Chain A
Amino acid sequence: MAQRKAAKVATFTAALGRGQATAPAKSSTATATATGDGFTTRPDKVPTTATQIRMDAALYDSFRAKCFARRQSMSFVVEELVRDWVNSDT
Chain B
Amino acid sequence: MTTRTLGIGSLKGGVAKTTTALHLGAALASAARPVLVIDGDPLRPLTAWASAGRLPHYLVVMDEQRAARTGAARDVALVVLDLAGGDADALTGVAGDLDILVVPSTPDALALSAAQRTLDALPTGANARVLLTMIPPKPSKAGESAAQTLRDAGLTVLRTTVPRLTAFADAAAVGCLVSDLPGPRAARGADAYRLLAKEVQTWLSGKRQK
Task: Identify the A interface with B (CB < 8 A).
Answer: 5-6, 8-9, 11-19, 21, 25, 50-51, 54-55, 57, 60-61, 64, 67-68, 70-76, 78-80
Contact = CB atoms under 8 A, between A and B. Distances in A.
A74 B62 contact: yes
A17 B94 contact: no
B57 A75 contact: no
Interface in B54-87: 55-62, 64-75, 79, 81
A58 B181 CA distance: 38
Contacts, number: 106
B104 interface: no
Nearest to A79: B51
Contact of A73 (B40, B56, B81): B56
Interface residues of B, number: 38
B38 interface: yes
A11 B69 CA distance: 9
A77 B43 CA distance: 20
A12 B90 contact: yes
Contacts of A18: 5, 97, 210
B142 interface: no
Contact of B57 (A5, A51, A60, A71): A71
Contacts of A15: 38, 40, 64-65, 67-68, 73, 79, 81
Contacts of B59: 73
Given A17-B3, A18-B5, A25-B69, A68 B57 contact: yes
B5 A16 contact: yes
